[in-house]
Structure 1
Amino acid sequence: MRGKLTITIMLASLLLVLCPVNSGAAARTVAVPVSVDSALQQHAVRLAAISDELYQAASDGNKQLTYYNLSRLRRLTADPSVRQLGSKQGWTAAEETIRQLSDALQYGKLNGDARADGAKLMLAFDALSSGERALWISYHEIMQDDLNRLIKAWQRQTDDRTEAAVAALKTLSGHIELIVPAALMQRDPMLVQALQETYQYTLSLLNAGQSGRLERLWMDNSLAALSQAVDLVFYDSEGETIEPVLSPIYGGMPWRWTIVIGLLIISVLMYVGWQKYRFERDRVVKQDRANLP
């Protein structure tokens, strides 16, 4: 019953997106891009070109060339004007990735994590210049394949299905981490956060499953929510690509999406709270029965 209530609340959230807004000023998509002047566009193109060179150098294991391009990238991103593109959260994620890559260059070798950081930066800055042709958007199909493998692993009628699902989720996790800075540059940050939180919840369920404390319904609902969260990052409610957010970072969030994400988070928290309560209640009942003479 509680699971059905959760699904109903989540569907109601989606209906807010599907229903037209009775205001001519309201946009159908998450955000409508504003015109970008030529100077900013040139900055964005340069960022994309340098980050691409950085990624190629990191992939080739060329530490010196990677460091050179990272220095160029840092100088260009220090210009406050270029940060009018994207979002504050996107720039924060990019800065953290730059810091991680810088530490790797200073204290170690170009390992897999360093190459992944190079890929994150390449995708993030490509997003600023390429609009809906951005490379990160192509990961939608890849992540859908990840989800299909995850669902098939969970539906296996074998004793090791939880372990197989954990392995499949790890692959999806890598792709989520890869696109986060780019997605934050172009999409509503709360949609990206919802994806990250839903992934973490799914992971916690699987970890509990490895200890033998997981009901099938919990996991089925979580996988459905995770699939929905992935789609929301890439598409709008009508199945079309969301227009990129290329407005100044201090712009406000459309109210309709605030309500949608708020209801989604509330429904997830209600469901998690109920399941935790039921688990503790059943555990106490079992203990009481065990203590009976």
Structure 2
Amino acid sequence: MKWKAAIFLMIMLVITPVTTLATHHTSSIEKLDQISDEALQLVKSSRYEEAKKLLEYFSDQFLLYTMENHSFSIDETRIVTLAHNEAVEAMSNGTMNHEERINRVTKFRLAIDAITSSNQPLWTGMEGPIMSVFAEVKEAALKGENESFHSQLNSFLSLYEMIYPSMKLNAPVQTVQKIDARIQFIDEYRPQILSDQTSQIELEALEQDLRDLFDQTSEDEADPSLWWVIITTGSIIIVTLSYVGWKKYKGEKEKEREKKRM
């Protein structure tokens, strides 16, 4: 019986440190994710100073985690750092409106989830809003509705920018580059897209590329406990997209009028 007890003790001595390390690793990852979510909730409530302090605290914890675990690649660290810097800047910019602050911190929140979640990443839950807005872009182009096309395209670009860091973290490089190239073409040659049916084929191609993207990254079901985050974030985006897109369009038209006066 003594030898059985000795073997059991040896097994426990070997397993316990590993288990403790795994628990510490998991809790540290979850802590980073939790901080990013809490920061987003503070921004939604317009508590910008508190959100800024929490984002600065995140920076310290992220640095500590990466030094201890070395589990993030250089690209992952760079992408997260850029998204984090944008979020902090949004909290310090007194001229930035509430909707844009939410967008910046949402971008950061989704990026953190993309590298910490073991389930389906939250950004894939944005498929509905993205495809819905893009359908409006395509419809406006096909009908030749100039003002609506520019407004809806700006809305789509705002939403695309929000999930872009997360895409780069989770999707194949070739897929992201392909979508990027199509979006840049459509944005740069807006008048041509509106007037040329051949160029409008790019809209169809981009729509299919976007569907392929979400299909590739949505094979597993998301954790049910995370769906409230997807729904909440998606609702905010849907409400603010039209406002942001319209404001950007009006700003561009005003700049054009000022140039003509000069």
1:34 matched residue in structure 2: none
2:86 matched residue in structure 1: 100
Aligned pairs (5 A) from 1:208-223 = 208=192, 214-219=195-200, 221-223=201-203
Q: TM-score, normalised by structure 1?
A: 0.59
Q: Is the aligned partner of 1:52 residue 2:37?
A: yes
What letter corresponds to residue 188 of structure 2 in structure 1? S
1:188 is aligned, of 172, 183, 187, to 172
Residues of 2 paired with 1:83 and 1:161: CA distance? Answer: 51
C-alpha RMSD of matched pairs (Å): 2.8
Identity of aligned residues (%): 17
1:162 matched residue in structure 2: 146
For the structure 1 residues 43 and 228, does the alpha-carbon distance in structure 2 shift closer, same or farther, using more than 3 Å as the test? farther
Contact 1:94 1:121 in 2 (8 A): yes
Q: How many residues are paired up?
A: 199
1:263 matched residue in structure 2: none
Aligned pairs (5 A) from 1:136-147 = 136-147=123-134
Structure 2 unaligned spans of 5+: 1-21, 222-262
Q: TM-score, normalised by structure 2?
A: 0.66
For the structure 1 residues 77 and 141, does the alpha-carbon distance in structure 2 shift closer, same or farther, using more than 3 Å as the test? same
Aligned pairs (5 A) from 1:17-96 = 38-79=23-64, 80=66, 81=68, 84-85=71-72, 88-96=74-82
Contact 2:90 2:104 in 1 (8 A): no
1 or 2, which has the higher helix percentage? 2
Aligned pairs (5 A) from 1:264-283 = none
For CA contacts below 8 A with separation 6 or more, give which structure has more relative contact order. Answer: 1
Residues of 2 paired with 1:179 and 1:165: CA distance? Answer: 21
Contact 1:70 1:98 in 2 (8 A): yes
Paired residue secondary structure (1:218): coil
Contact 2:141 2:193 in 1 (8 A): no
2:121 matched residue in structure 1: 134
1:231 matched residue in structure 2: 211
Residues of 2 paired with 1:54 and 1:121: CA distance? Answer: 10
Deviations 1:67-88 (A, max 9, x none): 1210121012213255624x54
Structure 1 unaligned spans of 5+: 1-36, 244-293
Paired residue secondary structure (2:219): coil
1:264 matched residue in structure 2: none
Contact 1:235 1:242 in 2 (8 A): no
